[in-house]
Amino acid sequence: MEAQFQVKTDPELWAKLDMDVERFSNVPPSLTGAFTEIFLSQENRPERMAYFDDMVRNIFTGRIQEMYDARQEGRPVVGTFCVFVPEEIIDAVNGVCVGLCGGSQFSIPDAEQIIPRNICPMVKSAFGFKVGRICPFFQVVDFVYGETTCDAKKKNWELLDDYVPTYVMEIPQMKRERDKKLWIEEVQDFKVAMEEKSGKEVTETRLKASIEKLNAKRKAMQRLNDLRHHDPSPISGRDMLLIQQIAFYDIPERFTGKVHELCEELEARIKTENYVAPKGTTRLMISGTPMALPNWKVHNIIETSGAVIVNEESCIGTRYYKDTIATDGTSMDQMLERLTERYMKIDCSCFTPNDDRIDQVLKEYRESGAHGLVDCCLQFCHTYNSEAVKLRRACEKEGIPFLSIETDYSPEDVGQLQTRIEAFVEQIED
Ligand code: BJ8
């Protein structure tokens, strides 16, 4: 166990970003504590997790400085909340794309002074971070791009606009031909908006290079996820979740390289039979709403209850990287069409019908060699919570052990979740 881990601080940089420095200074020590307890207490972690640990160490300093420098160079730094906003186009204008979904209880009281309490904690957490000026990522972006997925998001973008310039991309709620037409138009508008913001044209050459760059990142994640499916697992679910979270704020090329380095180590570990959990450990798959940093609650409970997590069917998980963009398009129109086709494969529960997602969950369940499925939804997320009904039925039909959890970011339900998860693991083992 690493004794010296500390999330770094840089009050001068934070002051330049107009943060509430005094209040925020409580955050690095508390993140240090949580990270040490949840991650560094694990035994026999792959050595190449060191890079990802470093990304946590520098989360409020080094990485923010890089984004600040990019901004000083005139590159747009764009905050997003959803994997539907096409980062290839941001990259094609040499912009920086950063995911701003909130995963912390800390900022929720700030949000609840303004927006309704009975909406999903992810939206409240993000909103509160901006209102309280207690997130350097929110402070370093030039503007944010929201989308019309769920009601909680699309209505609160109107309010968020009071604090940071907020633009909205319309995402249809069905996937018919006419929806595809609208979607392509939205992608075209997004391209024009990025060109205007950056003063840079999205040429075919630039877009091609960005598509290839992001495809490479997604393929690296596919390779890593395939390796972690090995039975026994060469890497824990907690570490995999962390990497999938870092994917939303690291520099794509650097991240891709580090993921491949880790893959090489995992291949070697598999050869030498060096695993994180012994053969016979209960393997669980997670499905549901994304788990934004630093939401490690359910993973920590599961993996301290004697099971190992072997897959996340989530946007901070496979939904982010299971599909790549076909590269046979040569004209701008063709490339944007291919790009849209890839984004249309994301099976978010905001769509109706959305049966492809049920099939995808079952497919990933089989591929990951899981012994049970834990569907994990955030409180007040109506679409995912409703879809859990179909998922349960599908699992019952297939004889898959299924546990449905609805939770938030507070520690209040930890004891109750622990009891339910332990009982679920025992039921599988019997
Ligand atoms: S594509 S999952 S990232 S919308 S949890 S805010 S849906 S009430 S996060 Fe998502 Fe895009 Fe879909 Fe993925 Fe609303 Fe639900 Fe909250 Fe959610």
3-state secondary structure of 97: strand
Please give the mean pLDDT across all residues of the chain: 97
The yes-or-no verdict on residue 284 having pLDDT over 60 is: yes
- Please name the residue whose Cα sits nearest to atom 8 of ligand 1: 381
In a domain, 2, yes or no: no
Closest atom of ligand 1 to CA, residue 122? 16
3-state secondary structure of 102: coil
Dist. CA 71–CA 316, nearest whole Å: 26
Distance 369 CA to ligand 1 centre (A): 26
In a domain, 350, yes or no: yes
Distance 73 CA to ligand 1 centre (A): 32
pLDDT of residue 108: 98
pLDDT of residue 405: 98
pLDDT of residue 1: 47
- Please name the residue whose Cα sits nearest to atom 16 of ligand 1: 120
Residues having CB within 6 Å of any atom of ligand 1: 82-84, 120, 122-123, 149-150, 152-153, 289-290, 315, 346, 348, 350, 378, 381, 383-384
In a domain, 61, yes or no: yes
In a domain, 321, yes or no: yes
Dist. CA 142–CA 50, nearest whole Å: 31
Tens digit of each residue's pLDDT (9 = 90 or more) over 85-103: 999 999 999 999 999 999 9
Tens digit of each residue's pLDDT (9 = 90 or more) over 125-174: 999 999 999 999 999 999 999 999 999 999 999 999 999 999 999 999 99
**Stretch 66-74: mean pLDDT:** 97
Tens digit of each residue's pLDDT (9 = 90 or more) over 286-317: 999 999 999 999 999 999 999 999 999 999 99
pLDDT of residue 3: 56
Dist. CA 309–CA 242, nearest whole Å: 13
Distance 41 CA to ligand 1 centre (A): 31
**Stretch 243-249: mean pLDDT:** 98
Dist. CA 396–CA 368, nearest whole Å: 18
Closest atom of ligand 1 to CA, residue 348? 12
Distance 378 CA to ligand 1 centre (A): 9
In a domain, 201, yes or no: yes
Q: Are 197 and 92 in contact (CB under 8 A)?
A: no
The yes-or-no verdict on residue 70 having pLDDT over 50 is: yes
Percent of the chain with pLDDT over 90: 99
For residue 46, say if its preceding peptide bond is cis, omega within 30 degrees of 0.
no
Q: Residue 326: which domain range? A: 11-429
Tens digit of each residue's pLDDT (9 = 90 or more) over 195-217: 999 999 999 999 999 999 999 99
Closest atom of ligand 1 to CA, residue 319? 13
pLDDT of residue 430: 86
The yes-or-no verdict on residue 218 having pLDDT over 50 is: yes
Dist. CA 400–CA 365, nearest whole Å: 9
In a domain, 4, yes or no: no
Dist. CA 390–CA 396, nearest whole Å: 10
Distance 325 CA to ligand 1 centre (A): 22
Tally of domains within the chain: 1
Distance 377 CA to ligand 1 centre (A): 10
DSSP state for residue 371 in the 8-state scheme: S
Pocket test for ligand 1, best of 80, 83, 150 (most atoms within 8 A of CB): 150
Dist. CA 221–CA 290, nearest whole Å: 16
pLDDT of residue 4: 86
Select from 287, 309, 295 the least CA-distant residue to 377.
Answer: 287
In a domain, 3, yes or no: no
- Give how far the C-alpha of residue 323 lies from the chain's centroid of Cα atoms, to the nearest Å: 15
Closest atom of ligand 1 to CA, residue 346? 1
Distance 290 CA to ligand 1 centre (A): 7
Tens digit of each residue's pLDDT (9 = 90 or more) over 342-395: 999 999 999 999 999 999 999 999 999 999 999 999 999 999 999 999 999 999
The yes-or-no verdict on residue 69 having pLDDT over 80 is: yes
**Stretch 270-283: mean pLDDT:** 96
- Please name the residue whose Cα sits nearest to atom 3 of ligand 1: 82
pTM for the whole thing? 0.98
Pocket test for ligand 1, best of 81, 100, 153 (most atoms within 8 A of CB): 153
pLDDT of residue 86: 98
